[in-house]
Amino acid sequence: MNKLESYIYKYLTRDLDSSLQSIVKHYIKSPGKHIRAHLVLYGASISLKENSLKWKTLNKEMDFFQKINLAKFNDNLILACSLIEIIHLASLVHDDIIDDAPKRRNQTALHIRRSTKQAILAGDYLFAKAINLAHQLPTACKKHIVKAIQDMVYGEFLEAVSDKANKEKYFTIIENKTASLFGCSMLIGFLIAQDAILDNESSELISYEMNKNKLVIEKKEIANKIYKWAFNLGKLYQIKDDIDDQEFPF
């Protein structure tokens, strides 16, 4: 995923002060696993596979991918992967301050390397940048991205003020802090692919359902299943992470 890191850096550093550029570079040069970006790609692949199978049953002579606005699809997918990783990056900067963690990914944490004030402002900038980039994505994606950021901040706040030994509170915290962004990541990948497929108003793809409203309902049901699957994956991921860190309270 080296290309992803270069795109993240490009999106983050446009018209950016040199001191902020060095902060961004510090985190990007020690990348993580990009799980959330992979979920964006997985969500898109599910949409493409589902629609291509239906297309083949109706029109065997024309390639399904000829009906997709591939340039728009690729641009939006790269942007979404970068945006999701920027949101995650912002949460890590703030996490390290809250937890007073000295290191992140084998690098000195930003609040130690610079100052707590600079780290807080850098995290705020990353969240703001992600929201700004979200406006370039299809309309259907925007509300989910903003909601995921809201959930993450709420989850962090709950963790700061709540007793993690309370099982109900613990699951509320991890659902907001971690699972919400997992669900959002896979969902917006799906929505980006749908937007590219239906970009051409005259596309015959809509004709494979006699009732256009039925098509919309079916897509909504699939989208809900995709979100829930990734959301639950996020919960499991956080539980395992807490067990590994010996912070699982039960």
Mean pLDDT of 62-79: 76
Number of domains comprising the chain: 1
pTM of the model: 0.85
CA angle 179-215-199, nearest 5°?
85
Asked whether residue 97 is assigned to any structural domain, the reply reads yes
- The set of residues, in sequence order, having a beta carbon less than 8 Å from that of 136 and lying 6+ positions away, is 76, 79
For 103-145, list the strands marked E by DSSP.
103-104, 107-108
pLDDT digit string (tens) for 31-64? 678 899 999 999 999 888 877 666 555 555 556 5
Q: What is the CATH number of the domain that holds 207?
A: 1.10.600.10
Q: Kindly state whether residue 249 falls inside one of the protein's structural domains.
A: no
pLDDT on residue 202: 36
Domain assignment of residue 238, given as a range: 2-244
Q: pLDDT (tens digit, 9 = 90+) per residue, 192-238?
A: 988 887 654 434 444 444 445 555 556 788 899 999 999 999 999 99
Distance CA 197, CA 6 (A): 27
- The pLDDT of residue 201 is 40
Q: What is the Cα–Cα distance from 234 to 39, expressed in whole angstroms?
A: 11
Between CA 126 and CA 21 the distance in angstroms is 12
Could you give the 3-state DSSP secondary structure of residue 144?
Answer: helix
Please provide residue 200's backbone torsions phi and psi, each rounded to the nearest 5 degrees. Answer: -85, 115
Q: What is the pLDDT of residue 194?
A: 85
